[in-house]
Amino acid sequence: MTYGKVFEGLRAYCPQAWKDYTCHDFVKGLGDGSLPHEAFLTYLRQDYVFLIHFSRAWALAVTKAGNLEEMKAASAIVHGLIHEEMQLHVGICAEAGISLEELEKTVELPQNMLYTRYVLEAGYSGDFLDMMAALAPCVMGYGEIGSLLDQSATSKTYREWIDTYGCSEYQDLCAELGSLIDKAVITRLGENYQDTGRWQTLLQHFETATRLESNFWGMAFDAKDSA
């Protein structure tokens, strides 16, 4: 499964940062079940707040889209996030013993705030491509992690999480988004997009967002009191 040519180029620019993110101890812990439950709960709580701002960022991508096809793709993601994924998330949290009331009281941790505000600001100050570069690490990274764990996980503890991102439906979404990004970049910057200054900016957004993903895992992993 490939997530497109542009994504390959972005990932190839920062292999270490990408590895730090996708092979983080948090990820390993999801696969072998060694992740402390408390760390997973902290992650779930923070992810609830994250999803709100992530949805806002995708909505901004609708506003900044260059054509109807881009608008449709981004608005489908917004709708999926707000009307389905957040509902699903509330369900998973409930199973894990976190009520909706508790979720809504979650205090946003700095690492969480840093990530979403970085993406939103990059979007507001930049254009649709800047948004795609800053949003890709989350969407595609989870796809890669899900796909990897789907095959390699040795524990069933976090199987539900793994299935969410390893399933063919999510993999298809990543492939479709990858294809949309390829088209978006080539249409705007040409086939030789890698020779432009815009590409350098996109690389920077991608790398920064990738580092902020690692930072997010670290936040959940390290949290002492997640109550």
8 contacts 179 by C-beta, under 8 angstroms: no
Neighbour tally for 168: CB within 10 Å: 11
Contacts of 37 (CB under 8 A, 6+ apart): 96
Residue 17 to residue 22: CA distance in whole angstroms: 9
Nearer of residues 92 and 114 to its own copies, judged by Cβ? 114
Alpha-carbon torsion, ordered 153, 175, 161, 209, to 10 deg? 100
Contacts of its own copies in 130-169 (CB under 8 A): 130
Tokens 């993110």: give the residue. Answer: 21
- Residue 55 is a binding residue for its own copies (CB under 8 A): yes
User: Which residue from 33, 83, 168, 222 is in contact with its own copies, where contact means CB under 8 A?
Assistant: 83
Nearer of residues 23 and 124 to its own copies, judged by Cβ? 124
Nearer of residues 135 and 162 to its own copies, judged by Cβ? 135
User: Which residue from 197, 224, 225, 227 is in contact with its own copies, where contact means CB under 8 A?
Assistant: 197
Q: Give just the sign of the alpha carbon dihedral 85, 86, 91, 95.
A: positive
User: Which residue from 10, 39, 59, 153 is in contact with its own copies, where contact means CB under 8 A?
Assistant: 59
| Least Å from the CB of residue 70 to its own copies | 11
Which has the closest alpha carbon to 62: 53, 72, 54? Answer: 72
Residue 193 to residue 110: CA distance in whole angstroms: 35
Contacts of its own copies in 92-121 (CB under 8 A): 110-111, 113-114, 117-118, 120-121
Neighbour tally for 195: CB within 10 Å: 11
| Least Å from the CB of residue 207 to its own copies | 12
- Residue 202 is a binding residue for its own copies (CB under 8 A): no
- Helices 159-166 and 86-95 pack at an angle, to 10 degrees, of 160
User: Which residue from 34, 124, 154, 222 is in contact with its own copies, where contact means CB under 8 A?
Assistant: 124
Stretch that binds its own copies, among 4-12, 39-47, 77-85, 160-168 (CB under 8 A): 77-85
Stretch that binds its own copies, among 37-45, 155-163, 174-182, 195-203 (CB under 8 A): 195-203
Side chain identity, residue 193? Y
- Interface with its own copies by CB under 8 A: which residues? 52, 55-57, 59-60, 62-66, 68, 71-72, 74-76, 78-79, 82-83, 86, 110-111, 113-114, 117-118, 120-121, 124-127, 130, 187-190, 192, 195-198, 201, 215
